[in-house]
Structure 1
Amino acid sequence: MDDFGRLLGERIRSFRKRKGLSQEELAHRATFSTSFISDIERGIKSPTMESMYKISTALDISLEELFIKFQPIKKTPEGELVDSIIRKVNNLPMKELQSVNSILELLVNFRAR
């Protein structure tokens, strides 16, 4: 499959993991087989718009969120560090993302004093 299908599959996997769902749970919620979800996530199958709608509904996100892509960050030392942070937190479950966010808020608030 093309890069778009692979990237879409990666985004679906990322959202699924953030929500703490297994492929089986997502498949059940979206009324698909587990193998179909697996094939989409690996970029083997290309979902229809209806399938993407069912998946986004099962993930409790909008269709638009599936297609939003991070803006490229300039390759400065700061940009490289931001890229590194994003890669590290990208597939964390929601609970862990909330913890990371709380820690970042504490750091930002402390620095603002």
Structure 2
Amino acid sequence: MLELDEIYNIIGKRIRNYRRKTGYSQEELAEKAELFPTYLGQIERGESKASLRSILKIANALEMPLEVLFENIIQNEEHIDTMSSECYELIDSLTLKEQKAMINLIKEIIEYRKFKE
């Protein structure tokens, strides 16, 4: 089972990724979310135990559904698939264009594998 610190780290990374995708600096997002920039930086690094209220302010400032920050974090212990989680985190950090390219690459690899069998 994930520790609470790990959950905060994952959420912080996702906030940073979405902030970068939208082109905001930490200062700009902090202002839009009505938070201090240093606090936002601590949240992004997983150093601060952000309240749900602060996380909601950030999600609203990024104009994203709150649930996106929590997707695929907590899984049933019997079905933990760390490889899938790692892939999700890696792909989630990419731009939309890069994500589409990765999906196409994965599809090509699967087709190639079928062809060789």
| TM-score class normalised by the smaller sequence | 0.5 to 0.7
Match for 2:39 among 36, 48, 58? 36
Classify 1:53/1:98 alpha carbon distance in 2 versus 1 (closer, same or farther; 3 Å).
same
Task: Calculate percent identity across the aligned residue pairs.
Answer: 31
Instruction: Answer yes or no: is the 8 Å Cα contact 1:30–1:54 preserved in 2.
Output: yes
Q: How does 1:59-74 map to 2 (within 5 A)?
A: 59-69=62-72
Instruction: Answer yes or no: is the 8 Å Cα contact 2:43–2:50 preserved in 1.
Output: yes
Instruction: Answer yes or no: is the 8 Å Cα contact 2:9–2:46 preserved in 1.
Output: yes
Q: How does 1:1-113 map to 2 (within 5 A)?
A: 2-69=5-72, 83=87, 87=90, 89-92=91-94, 94=95, 97-98=96-97, 101=100
TM-score calculated relative to the size of structure 1: 0.66
* Deviation >6 Å, runs of 4+: 70-75, 102-105
**SS of the counterpart of 1:2?**
helix
Distance of 1:29 and 1:2 partners within structure 2: 26
**How much is the aligned-residue C-alpha RMSD, in angstroms?**
3.2
Report deviation, 1:90: 3.6
Report deviation, 1:86: 6.8
Structure 2, unaligned runs of 5 or more: 112-117
Distance of 1:2 and 1:28 partners within structure 2: 26
Q: Between Structure 1 and Structure 2, how many residues are aligned?
A: 100
Instruction: Answer yes or no: is the 8 Å Cα contact 1:17–1:91 preserved in 2.
Output: no
Distance of 1:103 and 1:42 partners within structure 2: 26
Instruction: Answer yes or no: is the 8 Å Cα contact 2:26–2:40 preserved in 1.
Output: yes
Instruction: Answer yes or no: is the 8 Å Cα contact 1:8–1:67 preserved in 2.
Output: yes
Report deviation, 1:91: 3.0
